[in-house]
Amino acid sequence: MDIKSLIRDIPDFPKPGILFRDLTTLLRDPEGLRYTIDAFAQKCVEANLSPDYVVGIESRGFIVGPPLAYQLRAGFIPVRKPGKLPAAVHTVEYQLEYGRDKLEVHQDALQEGTRVLIVDDLIATGGTAKASADLVHKVGCNLLGFGFIVELQELEGRQQLPDLPIVTLVEY
């Protein structure tokens, strides 16, 4: 299946100069959704990625993470923006284009040695995925790799990430 044909390009969103790759049109398509998740899981298996938990990054990692976790027979753990998780959290701070931001995960969700796969819908600069990797490493987890439906190659986001397997389905 041609996944790209179901991804919609929106120029100048959310600000001038950004070409937004809109995956809602792919997710809306019954066959597109099924194929995408099945292919994503298949690629993870081929890359020998069998995590205890899929860690999804807010917010679009919450859309692709749970069905992938289900297919891999793993659990799902959300990494969220500050102040959203109700129990005690671990926090990581990271640099944005302008200013800084934080990501959080529940302290009791992850333990030392837990095997995790970090997923998001798309990798652009890699800053968010890198911060999530720092967060799970801080806890002492065994980070197995990363998964993204889309990679924006010219932004070289993968250079930011630790040297681990990265599964992607579509490259621009």
**Contact call for residue 132 and ligand AMP (CB under 6 A):** no
**Contact call for residue 168 and ligand AMP (CB under 6 A):** no
* Distance from chain centroid for Cα 158: 12
**60 a catalytic residue:** yes
**Contact call for residue 92 and ligand AMP (CB under 6 A):** no
Per CB under 6 A, the list member of 35, 38, 63, 127 interacting with ligand AMP is 127
For the chain, the straight-line distance linking the first and the last C-alpha, in angstroms and rounded, comes to 17
Helices (H), the chain: 24-28, 30-46, 61-71, 127-138
Interface size with ligand AMP, residues (CB under 6 A): 17
**Contact call for residue 157 and ligand AMP (CB under 6 A):** yes
* Residue with token string 């009791």: 108
**58 a catalytic residue:** no
**Contact call for residue 78 and ligand AMP (CB under 6 A):** no
Per CB under 6 A, the list member of 63, 101, 125, 134 interacting with ligand AMP is 125
**Contact call for residue 65 and ligand AMP (CB under 6 A):** no
Give the x/- contact pattern for ligand AMP in 14-53, rule: CB under 6 A.
----xxxx--------------------------------
Q: Quote the least distance from Cβ 163 to ligand AMP, whole Å.
A: 17
Q: Quote the least distance from Cβ 168 to ligand AMP, whole Å.
A: 12
Residue 44: burial class (beta carbons within 10 Å; 0-12, 13-18, 19+): buried
Pairing, β 115-123 against β 100-106: unpaired
Counts of helices then strands in the chain (DSSP H, E)? 4, 9
Contact 59, 125 (CB under 8 A): no
∠ Cα 57 22 53 (to 5°): 25
Which residues here bind ligand AMP, judged by CB under 6 A? 18-21, 60, 120-129, 152, 157
Catalytic center residues = 60, 97
